[in-house]
Amino acid sequence: MQAEVEAVARIVRWRMWGFEWEGTSGAAMANIVQFENVGLRYGDGPETLSDISFALAAGSFYFLSGASGAGKTSLLRLLYLAQRPSRGIIRLFGEDAVTMPRARLPGFRRRIGVVFQDFRLVPHLSAADNVALPLRIAGMPEADIAEPVSEMLAWVGLTERAGAKPETLSGGEQQRVAIARAVIGRPEMLVADEPTGNVDPEMAERLLLLFDSLNRLGTTVVVATHDLHLMHRVPSAQMMRLVKGRLHDPTGTLRHPPARELA
């Protein structure tokens, strides 16, 4: 595992926001996200999410599960600030994300890597240019971009497809480009919606290894999945389960994560 973490560390050596964030070394665990009685209603329909309260401990790995329609994607959209809640409090990176002025949202979003369920690749850019996008947006010198991009494409098994446009890629290939793009800037938080839904079990393991390595480098990871097998592959991960728009938290551990020191 250490070899994989080091390999990933070499690829994601660039941090895409312009300041240092607290890694895991010796730092006391803080909560990177806090939801208090959050509700979400689309239009004037019933609440899709109700009374959602939890905190995500910085540097932890979470799986989000739940039946189809339980509200996983909706919860993730609140997390990466694509959606404002109808009620409740959301604190992200220590700030109130609900009342935050719109102008500040892009800066916050840049600290979050997102793997969308429908990939959202830029259609006129090649796979390599899609992966390079976060680095270019962050102003990384052009001369420094090619190497991490090709290493990342190699990790997800797409070296041969680097020049291909998204429309010529299979669903699984597009998904791997989307994952490479989400992780290449070593985000502070990674949010992934069914990131292994279109790949074979062997590739799913490899992608999970990538998430796990990124997590060991300090990124807080949240993965929504139906795949029980996948969940068992990260024994240290915490489970979050949505049941009809409510978070199942009988012991209150999600609401009040135990404070712990990392080595």
Residue 59 or 88: which CB sits closer to ligand ATP? 88
Nearest to 174 by CA among 182, 185, 166: 166
Residue 69 or 163: which CB sits closer to ligand ATP? 69
**Secondary structure class of 210 (helix, strand, coil):** helix
> Is residue 104 near ligand ATP by the rule CB under 6 A?
no
Of the residues 27, 37, 42, 122, which one makes contact with ligand ATP according to CB under 6 A: 42
Class of residue 9 by CB neighbours under 10 A (exposed 0-12, middle 13-18, buried 19+): middle
Of the residues 25, 68, 99, 236, which one makes contact with ligand ATP according to CB under 6 A: 68
> Is residue 191 near ligand ATP by the rule CB under 6 A?
no
Residue 57 or 90: which CB sits closer to ligand ATP? 90
Number of other CB atoms surrounding residue 69 within 10 Å: 12
> Is residue 72 near ligand ATP by the rule CB under 6 A?
yes
Stretch that binds ligand ATP, among 9-17, 62-70, 137-145, 246-254 (CB under 6 A): 62-70
> Percent helix, strand, coil in the chain (nearest 5)?
35, 25, 45
How far apart CA 185 and CA 92 sit, in angstroms, is 19
> Is residue 70 near ligand ATP by the rule CB under 6 A?
yes
**Cβ 229 to ligand ATP, closest distance in Å?**
17
Give Rg (Cα) of the chain.
Answer: 18
Residue 185 or 245: which CB sits closer to ligand ATP? 245
Stretch that binds ligand ATP, among 61-69, 94-102, 104-112, 179-187 (CB under 6 A): 61-69
Residues paired with residue 246 on neighbouring β-strands, in sequence order: 243
How far apart CA 71 and CA 248 sit, in angstroms, is 12
Site of interaction with ligand ATP (CB under 6 A): 42, 48, 66, 68-74
